[in-house]
Chains A and B, each alone.
Chain A
Amino acid sequence: MSKRYKSKKFLVKTRYIILATILFLLALGLVLLPKYQKNEGINPELFVINAVSTERYISTDLLADRIINQDPTLLLIDTRPEKEFNEFSLPNAVNIQLKDFFNEELNSYLDQDVYDVILFSNDNFYANEVWMLGNRLGYKNLFVLKGGLNEWFSTIINPKYPDETMPREAFELYDFRKAAGMYFGVGVTKTKSEEKPKSKKKVITAPKKKKRVPEGGC
């Protein structure tokens, strides 16, 4: 028997084993392959495009309008520390700080596609951090209040009266902001104004009839 025949015979005998080994090795390769696909969330290129875009910002005027019109799809998230949140926050806001981002109960507010989630803090910094983590994980409907509460106070609560030379729109905007400010409680006292003074009982005194001087008769 020649050497060539021997090797051929060996190959024929063991071909299934060889094929199985190759397939097994390839299967191992497939285990390693999704390492790149396991990359959590969106890819870096898309992350940058979203982060550079200003689409996520919502103005204080638009937010005030939506709150006043009782938009049912609105969900306000305050990202400031609890102490600041307890002192003051926007109506019906939920406090979710950065450290609570992965808290199961609170995360369900962020990772959903029913509500328009408006994130806010004193300026944009904390709110943007929450937004960027959400952006990485592909959360939908996340928005940031442009300028945060500082901007809210300088526009809605205490708007600046426009100059005489400014266009009509500026005056209309000022009127809107003033009215919105009143809606959010500027100039409205709950304790005093709501307590109506008790109305005094009206005392009707019948006018005394003057004794008529007897008209002169005959």
Chain B
Amino acid sequence: MKELERTKRISISAVLFLLVILIGFLTFERPKHVFKKNTASTLEKIIKKDYIISISDLDTLDPSQYAIIDIRSNYEYAKGHMENAVNITRHDIFNDNSIKFLNNLKANDQAIILYGEDPDNANTGWMLLYQLGYDNAKILCIETDYVDKTFQIKNAPLEKPNVNFAQVMAASKSDKSENIKKPKPKKKVITAPKKKKRVPEGGC
């Protein structure tokens, strides 16, 4: 009888244990957004740099093969934007509508072309999309500006030094050293007034 009670207790505790695990499974909340690419594969892609396109590259593409996404703020977008561009800020990427739109583009094998104030800005959006698994994302290498009430874009130089740093440093040293060279002051010639020969004072 005692043994029977013991086995009963074991069964009850095992069932309770199972219940706890079951509740854990049911209440487990799966994260909505997960990085699908790890940093090693992202790094490989970054080194290739094949995801950066210029305006001339864009002109060669068929408009049905891509969608342009403006990642600037809604306010900037309202002032002016590229033709047919859709505004999805970096925070809005996680919206259900945006995810649906991006998934659609991926399913249709269309490229996602991002642009922002500068390529740097677009790059943060690209990094996010690529790591989320949107490997059809690209960066449009442009700078945008709003001048004289018109939206303007121009090709942006990427990591291009404005000057040759080594040369500028060398020049700044030599230029200054030449300026510093002061003309040698002429030796002052002080001519001592000739002493007049004293007339020997008269003696007696």
Contacts and interface: CB of A to CB of B under 8 A. Distances in A.
Interface of A: 15, 19, 22-23, 26, 29, 33, 36, 39-41, 43-45, 47-48, 51-52, 80, 84, 87-88, 98-99, 101-102, 121-126, 128-129, 132-133, 136-137, 149-150, 153-154, 157-158, 185-190, 192-193, 213-218
Given A133-B42, A187-B172, A126 B159 contact: yes
Interface of B: 11, 14-15, 17-18, 21, 25, 28, 30-31, 33-35, 38-40, 42-43, 46-47, 90-91, 93-94, 119-120, 123-124, 127-128, 131-132, 158-163, 165-166, 168-169, 172-174, 176-177, 180, 197-198, 200-204
Contacts of A150: 161-162
A80 B159 CA distance: 9
A216 B46 contact: no
27 contacts: A19-B15, A19-B18, A23-B18, A39-B34, A40-B38, A44-B33, A44-B94, A47-B35, A48-B124, A52-B91, A52-B124, A80-B159, A88-B165, A98-B46, A121-B159, A123-B120, A132-B123, A133-B43, A153-B162, A153-B168, A157-B169, A186-B172, A187-B176, A188-B173, A188-B176, A218-B203, A218-B204
Contacts of B35: 39-41, 43-44, 47, 136
B43 A29 contact: no
Contact of B18 (A26, A43, A214): A26
Nearest to A49: B91
Contacts of B174: 189
B40 to A, nearest CB: 7
Contact of B169 (A44, A185, A213, A217): A185
B167 to A, nearest CB: 9
Nearest to A42: B35
B160 A122 contact: yes
A157 B173 CA distance: 11
A99 B25 CA distance: 41
A43 B33 contact: yes
A36 B123 contact: no
B35 to A, nearest CB: 6
A18 to B, nearest CB: 10
A158 B142 CA distance: 27
A98 B94 contact: no
A125 B123 contact: yes
A33 B169 contact: no
Contact of B39 (A41, A52, A121, A149): A41
Contacts of B162: 150, 153-154
A125 B119 CA distance: 8
Nearest to A151: B162
Contact of B203 (A15, A26, A216): A216
A44 B34 contact: yes
Most A Cβ at <10 Å: residue of B17, B128, B158, B174: B128
A41 B40 CA distance: 12
* 8 nearest A-B pairs in the assembled complex, by CB-CB distance: A187-B176, A88-B165, A216-B203, A189-B177, A88-B166, A51-B124, A216-B200, A87-B166
A47 B131 CA distance: 11
B165 A44 contact: no
Given A15-B11, A44-B34, A125-B120, A213 B200 contact: yes
A172 B180 CA distance: 24
B98 to A, nearest CB: 12
Contacts of A133: 39, 42-43, 46
